[in-house]
């Protein structure tokens, strides 16, 4: 029964055109980034940095490197937007449309209904991140050769990998990006359980994420960065360095798990006490 209900939620989710906006926009953003790097001087700075450190630049100006470069803006801006769009819709849209009333005339508990919906959101996040990784490499591979992977964040990361190692790091970074996607989706889902419009749930979730991000980057809060929600959302970046800081990543995963449980419990409590009316 549970799996049938989950299948039903997935049918609903993937039957809607707006579910696919994220996939389409990712592909568009990746194509644009790849073309910019291919047909402009955007890679010149990267080449200079590599050569300055005695690396063969051409080997590292590869599809993997470009896919990683395009990953940053997408992971920071677009991914939270599209997962919160879907998370914010999961309950609030059904309440707004009136289908929630139809469902709740059935003998299903509110908690179970929410859990099935949340799980559908988790699977959507997984698919979105998987497609993000695949299309990133694929769209970069159209214009750049296969080769090593170079990751450079001034003052934070300088990593150079061979192709196999690079692909491994790129893949597990997406695994951790899934944790980020699930958490932001869960945050929007929590707001969606309240008596609000779907757009309000999405905007609230994004506001929470961006406010955390802004505060975290204020020098005054630098010392207590790890208290911010967004600090732990960036655990995927830890997968792009060698050696991987497993202790830090592990602690972020625990914090995000706690956030997810908290979001779900707050959401389900709010939903439990709500009156569902037409």
Partner 1 sequence: MIELKQLSKKFGDRWALRSLDLTVSHGEIFGLLGHNGAGKSTAIGMMLGQVWPTAGEAIICGHDVAENRPRALHKVGAIFETPVFYDYLSGWRNLEILSQYTAPTAPARMREVLEWVGLTGREMAKVKTYSHGMRTRLALAQALLPNPELLILDEPSDGLDPEGIHEMRETILRLRHELGLTILLSSHLLNEVEQLCTRIAVLNQGVKVFDGTLEQIRQSRLGWVRLNVGDFTAAVADLCAQQLVTDARDGSHVVLAPGVRTDALVRRLVEQGMPLFEIVHEEQTLEGFYLDLMKKKEEPVVPVQG
Q: Would you say 102 or 164 has its CB closer to partner 1?
A: 102
Q: What is the DSSP letter of 111?
A: H
- By the 8 A CB rule, do 79 and 177 touch? yes
Q: How far is the CB of 84 from partner 1 (least distance, A)?
A: 21
Site for partner 1, rule CB under 8 A:
1, 4-5, 7-8, 11-12, 15-17, 97-99, 101-109, 113, 273, 275-278
Backbone angles phi, psi at 128, to 5 degrees: -60, -45
Distance CA 210, CA 55 (A): 37
Q: What is the DSSP string of 12-27?
A: HHHHSGGGGHHHHHHH
- By the 8 A CB rule, do 184 and 209 touch? yes
Q: How far is the CB of 37 from partner 1 (least distance, A)?
A: 38
Q: How far is the CB of 16 from partner 1 (least distance, A)?
A: 6
Q: How far is the CB of 98 from partner 1 (least distance, A)?
A: 4
Q: Would you say 119 or 167 has its CB closer to partner 1?
A: 119
For the chain, helix, strand, coil in percent to 5 are: 80, 5, 15
Residue 33 has, within 13 A of its CA and on its CB side, a CA count of: 24
Q: Would you say 23 or 213 has its CB closer to partner 1?
A: 23
Residue located via tokens 């940095």: 49
Q: Would you say 10 or 244 has its CB closer to partner 1?
A: 10
Q: How far is the CB of 95 from partner 1 (least distance, A)?
A: 11
Q: Would you say 75 or 113 has its CB closer to partner 1?
A: 113
Cα-Cα-Cα-Cα torsion 70, 71, 74, 80, nearest 10 degrees, comes to 180
Q: How far is the CB of 2 from partner 1 (least distance, A)?
A: 10
Q: Would you say 16 or 44 has its CB closer to partner 1?
A: 16
Q: What is the DSSP letter of 75?
A: I
- By the 8 A CB rule, do 196 and 204 touch? yes
């Amino acid at each position: 029964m549970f799996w049938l209900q989950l299948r039903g939620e997935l049918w609903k989710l993937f039957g809607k055109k707006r579910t696919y906006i994220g996939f389409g926009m990712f592909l568009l953003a990746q194509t644009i980034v790849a073309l910019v790097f291919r047909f402009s001087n955007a890679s010149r700075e990267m080449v200079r940095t590599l050569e300055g450190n005695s690396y063969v630049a051409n080997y590292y100006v590869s599809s993997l490197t470009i896919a990683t470069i395009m990953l940053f803006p997408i992971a920071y801006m677009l991914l939270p937007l599209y997962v919160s769009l879907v998370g914010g819709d999961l309950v609030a849209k059904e309440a707004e449309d009136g289908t929630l009333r139809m469902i709740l005339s059935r003998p299903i508990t509110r908690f179970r209904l929410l859990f099935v919906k949340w799980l559908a959101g988790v699977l959507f996040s997984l698919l979105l991140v998987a497609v993000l990784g695949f299309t990133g490499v694929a769209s970069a591979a159209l214009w750049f050769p296969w080769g090593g992977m170079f990751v450079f964040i001034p003052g934070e990361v300088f990593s150079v990998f061979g192709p196999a190692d690079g692909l491994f790091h790129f893949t597990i970074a997406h695994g951790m990006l899934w944790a980020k996607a699930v958490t932001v989706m869960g945050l929007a889902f929590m707001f969606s359980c309240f008596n609000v419009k779907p757009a309000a749930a999405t905007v609230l979730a994004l506001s929470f994420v961006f406010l955390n991000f802004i505060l975290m980057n204020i020098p005054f809060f630098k010392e207590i960065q790890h208290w911010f929600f967004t600090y732990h959302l960036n655990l995927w970046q830890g997968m792009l360095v060698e050696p991987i800081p497993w202790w830090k990543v592990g602690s972020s995963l625990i914090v995000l798990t706690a956030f997810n449980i908290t979001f779900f419990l707050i959401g389900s409590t709010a939903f439990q006490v709500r009156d569902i009316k037409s």
